[in-house]
Amino acid sequence: MAIVQISRITNRKGLQENLPQLAGAELGYSIDERRLFIGNGTLAEGAPVIGNTEILTEFSDILEFQTTYTYKGEAAGYTVQTGATAGTPVTQSLQSWLDQFATVKDFGAVGDGVADDTDAINRALFQLFCRETNPEIRRSLFFPAGVYKVLQSINIPPYATLYGEGINNTIIQLEPSDDSALHECVARTADSLQQIGASIGDNGATAPEFITISNMRFQSTDSTVDVFIVQDANNCKFTNVSFTGPLTQGNLSSAADDIRAVAFASSATDICEQIVFDGCRFTGTTYGTETNQNIRAVTFTNGQFDTLHQGVVLNGTAATGVRITGNQFDKIYNEGIIFDNLLNPALNASGHNIFYDVGNHFLGLGNPFTPVIDIQSNNNVSISDMFQRSAADAQSFPRIKLNDTASIATTNGAQLALGTYVRQSGLAATLINDTTATIFTIDATDILAFSVNYTISRDFDFRTGTLVVTSDVGDSSGGLEFTDDFTENNLTGVTLTVSQSGDIISVGYISTETGVNGTMYYSVTHLA
């Protein structure tokens, strides 16, 4: 009806439970809940219903008023049909719609790098993944950008999905606390009751499985603990995750700190297996990973290992099916990869990795101190790995050392090693007319004897043969020995020479004056 007059506004106040039916336009204030209402008036006055209407204030629960939500998809230029017919749309409450998503801040985490977020994060994980064994309550847990300071380990249960906004944006950072027993690491896998260590699986709990973590960083400022512990877990995947420790090159000339970016722990009944690290970074710790535990089918792919004492070290007798593929290794004091002979890990593979400054004691190229890959046990392979270490440096410390094992390796497309048998791929050298020069050298401390299969082409004259050399290192009778067995269609005017100075054997040539250079195609073969 039309407004015919403005009267003095009347109002009432009291407790929410005592709110009466207000007269038309009369205000009522609920003191205890700080809510404001106005009377609807009578039906005769034109009110659609008799009752009170709440006036929204900063204390109103807006979700209580929005009772339904229907997806429209208006950006498509039309309203999407969500139900069986256009007239029966699918609806849900706004609260239900919002509850499809969970952020760690819903549970009290702050992410300002100052507040202790340990309890809030562990509470969120418990409420979403542990409280009930019901898939419907499980939600991916979102970590908005920020630094989430923790003083104790985060215990990640089965079926948990955690995701952040990038390794430089979402950071879970462990700070040292007075009780070091409470923080063996920044985070670790836990069972369905968030039990860890020897208690995993107790009280009928499910062992860690099907955990997915992406786009975040686990970082420790404590040089006494590992960054992440994968214990008794299976079928877990880490994507674009950084495992970052506090160590710098100044701390990494020894293994004294003995900490890992990722550590493994397996029990007799629950072996860590089918664990994938895709696009992850391992940095600032003694080892990228080092383990003597039984692990199976663990994959490190498309990742980065840098600023470490050693990269990947496998000791476990049942460390099998570990695949290290497509990674970059750089700024690593000693070896990039070791398959140790302590417990003879087998059936493991390294492939398509790139190794830059590795095994040089942080002194850069030209200063090799260790092999880049050290395979000490049988039935492992290194295939298509590429190395910045030069062939000259590899004479003193090989890129790949097989240690007389029944394993296979290829090196920079230039060398094939099958157990104790090593063969260089085809090489070529120009034999300059009327010259005496060296073709290549061999370090006799590593190679005591070798053979060279070769073909010399000079104008239209050809010669093919085998040069066999044994060094005089440790030879009490004294003497470098070599034979050159060959055939040729005509005199090539080339004489191959072998000499030794200290531990270095030089293979060279003397060419006559014919006015034409020659070419020697050759491959070096030796037993390790």
- Beta strand ranges found along 159-280 (DSSP E): 161-163, 170-174, 187-189, 212-220, 228-231, 234-244, 260-265, 272-278
- The tokens describing 130, both together, are 């542990």
Match domain 426-527 to its CATH number in 2.60.40.1680, 3.30.365.10, 3.30.450.40, 3.40.50.720.
2.60.40.1680
| Other residues' Cβ atoms within 10 Å of the Cβ of residue 245 | 28
The structural domains of the chain, with segments of one domain joined by +, span: 1-70+91-99, 101-246, 287-425, 426-527
Question: Tell me, what's the pLDDT at 519?
Answer: 96
Question: Tell me, what's the pLDDT at 1?
Answer: 43
Average pLDDT over residues 409-417: 76
User: Residue 389: exposed, middle, or buried by beta-carbon count in 10 A (0-12, 13-18, 19+)?
Assistant: buried
- The tokens describing 441, both together, are 């050298």
pLDDT digits (tens, 9 = 90+) for 128-183: 999 877 776 788 999 999 999 999 999 999 999 999 999 999 999 999 876 655 67
Q: Which residue has the higher pLDDT, 397 or 68?
A: 397
User: Residue 175: exposed, middle, or buried by beta-carbon count in 10 A (0-12, 13-18, 19+)?
Assistant: middle
| This prediction's pTM | 0.78
Question: Tell me, what's the pLDDT at 452?
Answer: 94
pLDDT digits (tens, 9 = 90+) for 455-492: 999 999 999 999 999 987 655 555 789 999 999 999 99
Question: Tell me, what's the pLDDT at 403?
Answer: 83
What's the topology of domain 101-246? Pectate Lyase C-like (2.160.20)
Half-sphere exposure of 394 (CA within 13 A, CB side): 18
The answer to whether the CB of 481 falls within 8 A of the CB of 505 is: no
Report the amino acid identity of residue 300: F
Mean pLDDT of the chain: 89
Element (H, E) at 126: helix 118-129
Buried b (16+ CB within 10 A) or exposed e, 120-146: bbbebbbbbbbeeeeeeebbebbbeeb
Percent of the chain whose pLDDT exceeds 90? 59
pLDDT digits (tens, 9 = 90+) for 292-303: 999 999 999 999
Average pLDDT over residues 32-57: 88
